Structure 1
Amino acid sequence: MTEKKIGGSFIIEDVDFHSVVTPDDFTEEQRMIADATKDFIEAEVLPHDEEIEKLDYHLTVELLQKAGELGLLGADVPEEYNGLGLDKVSSTLISERLSKASSFALSLGAHIGIGTLPIVYFGTTDQKRKYLPDLVTGKKIAAYCLTEPSSGSDALGAKATATLSKDGTYYLLNGTKQFITNAGFAEVFIVYAKVNGKEFSTFIVEKSMEGVSIGTEEKKMGIKGSSTCSLILEDVKVPVDNLLWEIGKGHLIAFNILNIGRFKLAAGCLGASKDTIELTAKYANERQQFNKPISSFSLIRKKIAEMNIKTFALDSMVYRTAGLMDSNMSEIELSGSDAGLASAKVIAEYALECSINKVFGSETLDFLADEGVQIHGGYGFIQEYKVERIYRDSRINRIFEGTNEINRLLIPGTLIKRAMKGELPLMQKAQALQSELLTFVPTRTFEQLLEQEEYLISMAKKIFLMLGGIAVQKYQLKLEEEQEILSHLADIMIQVFSMESAYLRTKKLIDKKGEAHCQNSIEMTQVIVHESFDIIEHLAKDALSAMESGDILRTQLSILKKLARRVPVNTIELKRQIAKRVISAEKFLV
């Protein structure tokens, strides 16, 4: 078990590499779960890939039920309800390994994640007994219904209503939910509606209830093999026993389930990124131009190296976060009378990290998909080559589970709220830094392996604190209106989490295997840290220029220059070495 950390504390504290979970720490049991998922996808799903992509409801449900037989639908469900009750690292491995299944992975992921987890964490004992065993086997498929035609990112602006009957036995639900994954074949719907038009609440709605109907399938850019329809509710009588948790607590369920959904989405993006590297490296070795494989050309090698480097960072971030969640979720007593409140509190702890993973993961996969198509050339534009589908399918991830713009506002917003509640000494750290910066002298020499990288991570955190302190002092309560500044602060936090996760993983690898066996990881970490620091420095200059002017700006830029002083590394040569290894292995390489 990892040491429990306060969510968001990484930006103001040093982290010991011994305390983080990495993919190199998987147990034999966890590896077996991952292999079982991979084997199922390759044996049962991929042979039917073309049929699934044509949206075959019957086939998708049949395969979901086969997944249920293997326990893949019950990873996060407690054993007392026929689930496996696995740790978060194990369930994350399942989400990652599902990626080869394209649209089917989405159907399964929506069912086991945002479809089932509201009942797992917020349901009553009776609700869990009634629904979870069937959801675990796939006898019933779940869907999550939050979005409406007029409310996407503004979830609390929903217009669906729930009116309690005069005899108090049922709620009458009316409204339309839009873009609902699995809607075409789901039997159980997690629906959000406002009681008496005011109190945002959550209900378990069954397809068999009178007044429930399903709209036509949306014609989508990608993920064509998944069902996406509207759910239409017309005077649907939902028993009071199907209210999930309490009236007016729907926002806590919605946002906390979305936190987990964002994290699981990042795990899926990780798996798809690894698949893209494998497809692209193999193609680059096979494709001949000018009488030699295109993998021998430097610019192609540069692309493949960067694809592997970004995926290494994401891999490190995802499992670091899974470890953090495991350290916290062991506290949840799902059978307790206060399970809902306890679940909301525990899940919310790492909301910030979940958003970071979602943004970085979705944008990493988009980058890889685009480069994958580019390396394939004209063939990448042809449907016969899977990279074309990866490119189309990847685009939705920046919109799913809260757009990346919304998540970029949530990241610093959540941090500041936690600081205001006294949960994090953010402002104290920022104030202490102000006096330190007046006499700050940058370190000039670095003798140990990755010593400069460790130093740059600490400087990046100081830059964040410097900017955050200025922003809070200047704008105070109006800071939430300065979306560009908040976005810059979010991007700095994302880069810090990325570079630090890669660094901590590599340090742990060196400690375990020795420097000689970790050369690829060492070189990738050097590239990640230095290129991330370049991004951070640019964001900081941009933010300072927006917040300050004249002599004050010149003073702040002078301080930033001292904080950003470093010796550049030869990233061109590092990427050449990384590419050589990845091209030889024809797969993602640590």
Structure 2
Amino acid sequence: MLRFSTFLTKNHSCWVMMQKSGHGLSLRAYAASSAQPAPKSSTENARETKKEKKAFVTNSFVMNLFNGQLKSDQVFPFPEVLNQEQQETLQMLTDPTAKFFEEVNDPLKNDLIEKVEDNTMEGLREMGAFGMQVPQDLGGVGLNNTQYARLVEVVGKHDLGVGITLGAHQSIGFKGILLYGNEAQKKKYLPPLASGELIAAYCLTEPESGSDAASIKTRAVLSEDETHYILNGGKIWISNGGLAEIFTVFAKTPVKIPSGEVKEKITAFIVERGFGGVTNGPPEKKMGIKASNTAEVHFEDVKVPVENVLGEVGEGFKVAMNILNNGRFGMAAALSGTMRFAIEKATEHAVNRTQFGNKISTYGSIQEKLARMAMAHYITESMAYMVSGNMDRGFVDFQLEAAISKIYASEAAWFVVDEAIQILGGMGFMRDTGLERVLRDLRIFRIFEGANDILRLFVALTGLQYAGGHLKELQKAMKNPAANLGLILDEGAKRMKRVVGLNNGSFLTPYVHSDLAESASKVNKTIEQFGVSVENLLMKYGKNIVHEQFLLNRLANSAIDIYSMVTVLSRASRSLQQHLSSAEYEHNLTSVICSEGYERVQLNLNSLKTSEKLKNFEKMSKISQDLCKHGGLVQQHPLGF
């Protein structure tokens, strides 16, 4: 079995020498060898606190999109958060990680035996792969989000089953301890979790509570002596459920609100299997990600010490959602690796396969497939590193961008792998090629950590709520125009520009490379039209918009397309400005992405107001009701029996 070097050094030049000499560097060795930064002065801390407060009140690009505004600081320029030393170090971690997955891990065998092989698990522990974002002083590697994304991308390229095992452990399993744990909780739990000595799991989903997390039935009641909670309930489909020793569990607890009334609110707990009363069912039989352990977890009269409350009592829903929000960027990174693998398989086959006297790569049908696969990958990869980069820059409002990256990546990866199988033909259908396993593995990504259907509604409704608040502010100002003249005039000027078209192309001009001016102009038009559409929906439906899911889905799809276009415009502009060797290639990708994205946005936004489309939505609703009423298809069979 491959063993990575464990050279310990505090001199970065030694790392570079090791890389040049061909030696690898494990994640754990990196953590041990990283020099600790000097303590910050009180002035520096004060500046950082001020910066964090500023970031906290800064709404994200997509959030501002719902007001028809361009908030440029989170999209332009494309984030570059790693300094040269961090880049070189990351490269030295990336190479041995890739080598491990190529030489040690066997994804086909993992899929066949339906578990991650023991030698792979042990190798991952030795590498420090179970604690990539845990601070170094608590036994982890201490990577930032961008570094973590790159290594997750490597894992996603080789084995999504292993990726789920690692991700369920650290991306959500113990992420709550990182985000909300107090000092004592972190010191107690993070070191053994970071080493892989203990495995973690995230326990939210229940038989009657999937996307509707607030409807969970698991309960925890404070004991009479107030020293512990008694936890009872069950969770289903828990990744690492049969392996974990530490669980982040969400349960209803009685909470006294200021009025004196007692209400049931969700609270998050750190639960140890060793507390007793924690059991799990057998591994679930699944369509894909068979190597990852998925099981039911049951809690029967589990005594959870009060010091194991994670965050505040009654604040568990916020904890649950923020854990998911903070982990979603990793999914886009992992799936960009998966897509890279599929595209490499497809292109290799296309340039070597001869049919009808020519290489199939010369045929337009295959060329279109490959080009669309490349565009989908470019968008996914750009989103992953846009979101992770902004997180590393200190922005805290990225929930809509993270949700969009998850939606887009999971659907794009399915498309790319499916097309790769089509290009390979019968060979793609064969197990040994590896693509059929990947396709099975991919199907779950559109469901878990927020079903895409729900996330689309989340994007649309969250943005509409923000835009609605702005409209309320304006309506309030109109009641006292003399005192709010500046706000009213500013809003009036914006609307007038929309009407006469003076804004077309102007927003993006300072940020986008001149070669992409035509694409930028199209994107700017969609931003303007999107804002108008949002305003019209709010004026027409008000609070009842929540019931108009046909419209909400199309609004969300428009937001996804606009964010996709802006993200690639930003990245391609950087490539053109830096004269990268791939600049022309990226220019072509971006031009087509923006051209076709513009057309889709026009179609979706027009469907929000076109009478024929609205009638079609009503008819589809009736069709669905008829299906449900009859328990299936309604029409008579063409043969009459």
Which TM-score band applies after superposition, normalised by the shorter structure? 0.7 to 0.9
**Partner of residue 101, structure 2:** 41
Q: How big is each residue's C-alpha offset from its partner over 1:457-502, in whole Å with a ceiling of 9 and x where there is no partner?
A: 1111001101001011111122212122222121111111111111
CA 1:472–1:443 in 2, change beyond 3 Å: closer, same or farther?
closer
1:440 and 2:506 equivalent? no
Q: How does 1:186-585 map to 2 (within 5 A)?
A: 186-196=244-254, 198-328=264-394, 346=396, 349-419=397-467, 433-440=494-501, 448-513=514-579, 518-545=583-610
Local SS of the residue matching 1:54: helix
Local SS of the residue matching 2:540: helix
Contact kept, 8 Å, 2:146 with 2:389, in 1: the verdict is yes
Deviation at 1:113, TM superposition (A): 0.5
Q: How big is each residue's C-alpha offset from its partner over 1:548-585, in whole Å with a ceiling of 9 and x where there is no partner?
A: 999xxxxxxxxxxxxxxxxxxxxxxxxxxxxxxxxxxx
Matched letter for residue 83 of structure 1: G
**Partner of residue 101, structure 1:** 159
Local SS of the residue matching 2:432: coil
Local SS of the residue matching 2:117: helix
Q: How big is each residue's C-alpha offset from its partner over 1:311-356, in whole Å with a ceiling of 9 and x where there is no partner?
A: 1111111111111111126xxxxxxxxxxxxxxxx4xx11111101
**Partner of residue 133, structure 2:** 76
Unaligned stretches of 5+ in structure 1? 330-345, 551-590
Whole-angstrom CA distance in 2 between matches of 1:272 and 1:161: 39
- TM-score norm. by structure 2 comes to 0.77
Q: How big is each residue's C-alpha offset from its partner over 1:12-63, in whole Å with a ceiling of 9 and x where there is no partner?
A: 2163775322699882233333333322322332xx3233223465735x53
**Partner of residue 63, structure 1:** 120
Local SS of the residue matching 1:217: coil
Whole-angstrom CA distance in 1 between matches of 2:504 and 2:227: 70
| Match 1:128 to one of 168, 177, 186 | 186
**Partner of residue 257, structure 2:** none
Q: How big is each residue's C-alpha offset from its partner over 1:416-463, in whole Å with a ceiling of 9 and x where there is no partner?
A: 33445669999989865543333237979x995211111111111001
**Partner of residue 230, structure 2:** 172
User: Aligned-residue CA RMSD in angstroms?
Assistant: 3.0
| Higher deviation after alignment, 101-110 or 284-293 | 284-293
Contact kept, 8 Å, 2:199 with 2:244, in 1: the verdict is yes
Local SS of the residue matching 1:31: helix
Matched letter for residue 371 of structure 1: E
Deviation at 1:146, TM superposition (A): 0.5
Deviation at 1:377, TM superposition (A): 1.4
1:183 and 2:249 equivalent? no
Whole-angstrom CA distance in 1 between matches of 2:76 and 2:584: 20
1:29 and 2:86 equivalent? no
Contact kept, 8 Å, 2:238 with 2:297, in 1: the verdict is yes
Whole-angstrom CA distance in 2 between matches of 1:285 and 1:88: 36
Matched letter for residue 498 of structure 2: L
Local SS of the residue matching 2:515: coil
Unaligned stretches of 5+ in structure 2? 1-47, 255-262, 476-486, 616-641
Whole-angstrom CA distance in 1 between matches of 2:221 and 2:471: 38
CA 1:546–1:170 in 2, change beyond 3 Å: closer, same or farther?
farther
CA 1:23–1:53 in 2, change beyond 3 Å: closer, same or farther?
farther
CA 1:22–1:500 in 2, change beyond 3 Å: closer, same or farther?
farther
Contact kept, 8 Å, 2:266 with 2:316, in 1: the verdict is yes
Whole-angstrom CA distance in 1 between matches of 2:311 and 2:556: 32
| Higher deviation after alignment, 455-464 or 16-25 | 16-25
Contact kept, 8 Å, 1:104 with 1:225, in 2: the verdict is yes
Deviation at 1:296, TM superposition (A): 2.5
CA 1:84–1:298 in 2, change beyond 3 Å: closer, same or farther?
same
Local SS of the residue matching 1:384: helix
Deviation at 1:525, TM superposition (A): 0.6
Deviation at 1:84, TM superposition (A): 2.3
Contact kept, 8 Å, 1:22 with 1:505, in 2: the verdict is no
Whole-angstrom CA distance in 2 between matches of 1:323 and 1:425: 32
Deviation at 1:517, TM superposition (A): 5.3
Matched letter for residue 310 of structure 2: L
**Partner of residue 557, structure 1:** none
**Partner of residue 86, structure 1:** 143
Whole-angstrom CA distance in 2 between matches of 1:544 and 1:95: 42
Contact kept, 8 Å, 1:495 with 1:536, in 2: the verdict is yes
Which gives a bigger RCO, structure 1 or 2 (Cα 8 Å, sep 6+)?
A: 1
| Higher deviation after alignment, 29-38 or 72-81 | 29-38
Contact kept, 8 Å, 2:231 with 2:300, in 1: the verdict is yes
Greater C-alpha Rg: 2
Whole-angstrom CA distance in 2 between matches of 1:517 and 1:111: 36
Q: How big is each residue's C-alpha offset from its partner over 1:218-243, in whole Å with a ceiling of 9 and x where there is no partner?
A: 11111111111100111111222211
Deviation at 1:270, TM superposition (A): 1.1
Contact kept, 8 Å, 2:504 with 2:525, in 1: the verdict is no
Whole-angstrom CA distance in 1 between matches of 2:465 and 2:320: 19
Report how many aligned residue pairs link the two structures: 528
- TM-score norm. by structure 1 comes to 0.83
Local SS of the residue matching 1:218: coil
Contact kept, 8 Å, 2:81 with 2:389, in 1: the verdict is no
CA 1:484–1:546 in 2, change beyond 3 Å: closer, same or farther?
farther
Whole-angstrom CA distance in 1 between matches of 2:253 and 2:503: 58
Matched letter for residue 87 of structure 1: N
Whole-angstrom CA distance in 2 between matches of 1:441 and 1:218: 58
